Amino acid sequence: MNNPSNNAEYQDMYGMQDCTYHLTFLFSSPLVRNIESIVGLIPQLDYESEVKNIEKHLRKITHEVRYKVEVATRDNFRSAIIDAPFALHFTGHGIQNDRKSLKSQYFQYKDQGDILLLEDQNGMA
């Protein structure tokens, strides 16, 4: 069976020729979260199995797929958006944008949607 994504016209139509990466996989599994000097442990995600599963499926594709896997820091997320990959996959935790979750920081983020927990250089959210 002919894979339509091998077709140059298809690739051009969906911007697959011009992107640096077809897929960017960002994962965030911070160890702790600190809100108002209260440190809480965060359950760890099995992102390594998810990466292996995605790589297994990518190997089945008959054309080149450029991808990268990175920790989801603020800088890496920003870079991924600028790079404009064909697909961005995020694995991580999020919190509801409410007073219980954000405490005094609630008003800073009020009405801006729920929040992704990204990692810093120390493994904190």
Q: pLDDT tier at 1 (50, 70, 90 boundaries)?
A: very low
- Tell me: the pLDDT tens digits for 105-122? 787 878 888 888 899 988
- Tell me: the pLDDT tens digits for 58-99? 999 998 899 999 999 999 999 999 999 999 999 999 888 888
How many angstroms separate the CA atoms of 22 and 64, rounded? 9
Contact status, residue 3 vs residue 47, Cβ threshold 8 Å: no
Half-sphere exposure of 31 (CA within 13 A, CB side): 5
Locate 45 and state its tokens.
């995600």
Locate 48 and state its tokens.
């390594």
